[in-house]
Amino acid sequence: MRPPEVVIVFVLSLLAPGVLFTMNNLPGIQKPFLILGTGVVILGSVLLLLHLTVRHNKKVTPLFYVFAEFSFTCMVGLTNALQQDGFISGFMDFYLRMGEPHLSTAYAVMMCYWEGVVHFTIFLTIIHRMFAGKSYRSLGLLWAGSSIGHQIIHIPGVVIGKHGSNIRPAFWRNLPFFLVPFWAAFVLFRTPRVMPVIPADKVAEEQKKHLLSRPVDLLLSLFLLGVMAFCVFRALVVLDCPMDACFTYIYQYEPYLKDPVGFPKVTMLVYFFYVVPLLVILIYGLTMPGCSWILDWTIFLAGAVAQTQWCHIGGSLHSRTPFTYRVPADKRWPVLMLNVLLAVAPVLLALRCHTNPAYFMKPVPKGQTSNKKKTN
């Protein structure tokens, strides 16, 4: 009897540390272009093995290969994080020297933990649901937001940061991992959404309520406005705004924003140019009835902000960050609280939208009950 696809992906992913250990002990392939070429061959071999294993299964879609291949790279990332924090050794030395030296930074270590734990868990869950005939659209959007948020900070951060002068060929293997999540997000957004049908009278009743008569939505809107203000403020800080408040904040509260690795600066600019406009649109969706698109975009944003804030918070406290750039001990709790609130805000918004979606849905014919399902 053939094992389930999720078990196959899990076992293949566990081969990643062994591959890294072997490469670390073969000096002949520890040259920049050979590392890139070997990496391409290994990833191609993983795809080929997956195809040979599942080629007769009619439930296989291109997204399966994306999730399975990314699962393998998640274990590579987790191996790196564990070695950088001293739990293991002898796996990543060659790659840090001749591949991607920036992976030894605090931000990259936290990024690898997120990939190896959160993304890996999401991938296995999605693959299980995919072959069980269950919907995985929301989980897919959560991963897409997280992965895109990760890559639009990771790649520019390396280029403009202190490691930009030491970019080696292996760094460019990140380009497919940058582009594929955009394609996957496009596919997932186009997949029909499945949601419970809500009676027309309940939908009409909810949509008659103004924002002031919906205290939860009002508080959420105010909370999001505060998050937007914080994002704008920190963008001004990393852009060297001469205001006293900006000067005080970067030197006395969050000096990590001026860490020359580049990741903190890019994070703040991504928040300013992408997260803030998206929050404006989502607040609009909270105030205007029938905006069903908010159900997807809240999940996407929650994944993106959770991932980037995990890396940012962890990087600002990690021992691999130089002491002068770490959050001062006497300011740790207020800074930590502000950053946690920023991460929590999109999650709370997504939970609110999905636990009571009547306000965001289009009216349906009377007589239908909420326990039936409809493709919207």
Q: pLDDT for 300-331, tens place per residue?
A: 999 999 999 999 999 999 999 999 999 999 99
Q: How far is it, in rounded angstroms, from Cα 145 to Cα 301?
A: 6
Helix (H, G, I), strand (E, B) or coil at 275: helix
- pLDDT-based confidence at residue 2 (cuts at 50, 70, 90): low
Q: What pLDDT does residue 376 have?
A: 45
Q: For residue 304, give both structure tokens.
A: 């993106």
Which helix H or strand E contains 373, and what residues bound it?
strand 373-375
In sequence order, the 6+-apart residues with CB closer than 8 A to the CB of 176 are: none
Taking 90 as the threshold, does the pLDDT of residue 365 lie above it?
no
Question: How far is it, in rounded angstroms, from Cα 276 to Cα 293?
Answer: 18
Confidence at residue 371, expressed as pLDDT on a 0 to 100 scale: 47
pLDDT score of 370: 44
pLDDT band at 218 (very low <50, low <70, confident <90, very high): very high
Please name the amino acid found at residue 49.
L
Please give the pLDDT value at position 1. 53
Give the model's pLDDT for residue 103.
96
Distance set, CA 78 to CA 67, 71, 88, 174, 202 (Å):
16, 11, 11, 16, 47
What is the structure's pLDDT at 363?
59
Maximum C-alpha span of the chain: 72
DSSP state for residue 375 in the 8-state scheme: E
Structure tokens at 100: 């991607």
Helices (H), 25-61: 32-54
Q: Which of 40, 38, 32, 42 is nearest to 12 (CA)?
A: 42
Instruction: Kindly report, residue by residue over 179-214, the tens digit of the pLDDT.
Output: 999 999 999 999 988 777 788 888 888 888 888 889
- In angstroms, the CA 61 to CA 339 distance is 38
Give CA–CA dist 288/207, Å, rounded. 8
Rounded-to-integer distance, Cα 128 and Cα 334, Å = 41
CB 101 within 8 A of CB 163: yes
Has residue 3 got a pLDDT over 80?
A: no
Mean pLDDT score across all residues of the chain: 92
pLDDT in the model for residue 205: 87
Residues 6+ apart with CB under 8 A from 244: none
* Residue 374 pLDDT level (bands cut at 50, 70, 90): very low
- In angstroms, the CA 202 to CA 363 distance is 9
Phi-psi domain of 133 (left: phi exceeds 0; alpha: psi -120 through 50; beta: other): left
Closest CA to 203 of 78, 364, 47, 25: 364
Question: Hey, what amino acid is at 348?
Answer: L
Six token digits for residue 44: 């191609």
Q: How far is the C-alpha of 216 from the C-alpha of 322, rounded, in Å?
A: 42
